[in-house]
Amino acid sequence: MTRHFLSLMDCTPKELRMLVERAVTLKAILRRREPHEYLRGSSLALIFEKSSTRTRVSFEAGITQLGGNSMFLAPAELQLGRGEPLEDTARVISRMVNAIVIRTHEHAKLAAFAAHSQVPVINALTDRFHPCQLLADMQTYFEHRGDIAGRTVAWIGDGNNVCQSWINAARQFAFTLRIATPSGYGPDAEILSAAGDAARLVATPEEAATGADLVVTDTWASMGQESEKEVRARAFRGFCVDTHLMEIAAPDALFMHCLPAYRGVEVAADVIDGPRSVVWDEAENRLHAQKALLEFLLG
């Protein structure tokens, strides 16, 4: 059966740990400039309905470093944009390439595409999840602080796609996630309750941050929510990750953000540009973690 990567729940905890370890190894191989064309001749199609810097560049560079090639397909330039059914597009493209990376709005669209694809489909972000981001985030935590199992992570901000992937990560990597969001902006109730004790909502950003080993946030207005920007800015007042919140976290607490970030909005400049921020490692690790994922799915 074809394996897809639509959410972190598509892998076992053991497989996810193996991916993180392999990402660390692939990073070292690249640093030593050793050839590692383990996927020579493989083709990767990227279909992106939303903007991207990190995800696109990391997949394109990653498959090239592994000896394969990529093609970036803007939906408007495909027959998809003229009404060819998604299912037909999946059937056709999957007969020609070795894996397909998709960034879209509705998660159901991604699932429908995967159901008709003969080759692995990778979620490059939907409105529901962003699992590739979490592979890189887990790698980053492991590199800086060791095993995340048993640690406490604070999510402060919007209960969005990235937050929902953090909930799945808490289940799969056995850490505790404390989530502080303004009321009405929490994560999906089903995703949260499926995580049991691993993730819970707390009343205030302070309650989430106190003693936390890691503080994480994301933009308050995700792609597709641009028109809500002002309303959200008002609703999220008090949720900016600032030095006060970092000071009440554990003394060696790290700060993460998937980027793009908006300084002075969801995070203070002196936090994201400060000594506890690991956002640039996080961004770089998208490359290594996704190379590990490509090897796992295609190797």
Residues lying near ligand NVA in the complex (CB under 6 A): 125, 160-162, 218-219, 222-223, 258
Give catalytic status of residue 128 as yes or no.
Answer: no
- Answer with the entry of ligand CP, ligand NVA, none that 126 interacts with (C-beta below 5 to 8 A by kind): none
Shortest distance, position 232 Cβ to ligand NVA, whole Å? 12
Please name which of 127, 177, 125 lies closest in space to residue 152, comparing C-alpha atoms: 177
Shortest distance, position 252 Cβ to ligand CP, whole Å? 24
Give catalytic status of residue 144 as yes or no.
Answer: no
Q: Which positions from 129 to 158 touch ligand CP by CB under 6 A, shown as an x/- string? A: ----x-------------------------
Shortest distance, position 105 Cβ to ligand NVA, whole Å? 9
Which one from 258, 276, 288, 290 is the annotated catalytic residue? Answer: 258
d(CA 77, CA 168): 34
Alpha carbons within 13 angstroms on the beta-carbon side of residue 266 total 26
Residue 51, Cβ density class (10 Å: 0-12 exposed, 13-18 middle, ≥19 buried): exposed
| Size of the chain in residues | 299
Residue from 110, 258, 279, 287 that binds ligand CP (CB under 6 A)? 258
259: alpha, beta or left, given left = phi > 0 and alpha = psi -120 to 50?
left
Q: Which is nearer to ligand NVA, 93 or 125 (CB)?
A: 125
Please name which of 125, 167, 173 lies closest in space to residue 148, comparing C-alpha atoms: 173
First CA to last CA distance, the chain: 15
- Answer with the entry of ligand NVA, ligand CP, none that 218 interacts with (C-beta below 5 to 8 A by kind): ligand NVA
Shortest distance, position 118 Cβ to ligand CP, whole Å? 26
d(CA 84, CA 87): 9
Q: 75 with 82: CB under 8 angstroms?
A: no
Our finding on whether 280 is near ligand CP (CB under 6 A) is: no
The alpha carbon dihedral of 15, 20, 24, 27 has a sign of positive
Our finding on whether 54 is near ligand CP (CB under 6 A) is: yes
Our finding on whether 279 is near ligand CP (CB under 6 A) is: no
Which residues on adjacent β-strands are paired with residue 241? 267
Our finding on whether 259 is near ligand CP (CB under 6 A) is: yes
Q: Which is nearer to ligand CP, 54 or 107 (CB)?
A: 54
d(CA 52, CA 217): 18
**Position of tokens 């996810």?**
16
Residue from 7, 42, 52, 168 that binds ligand CP (CB under 6 A)? 52
Shortest distance, position 179 Cβ to ligand CP, whole Å? 19
Name the 3-class secondary structure at 219: coil
Q: Which is nearer to ligand CP, 201 or 261 (CB)?
A: 261
Residues that bind ligand CP in the complex, under the rule CB under 6 A = 52-55, 125, 133, 258-259
Catalytic residues: 103, 130, 133, 218, 258, 286
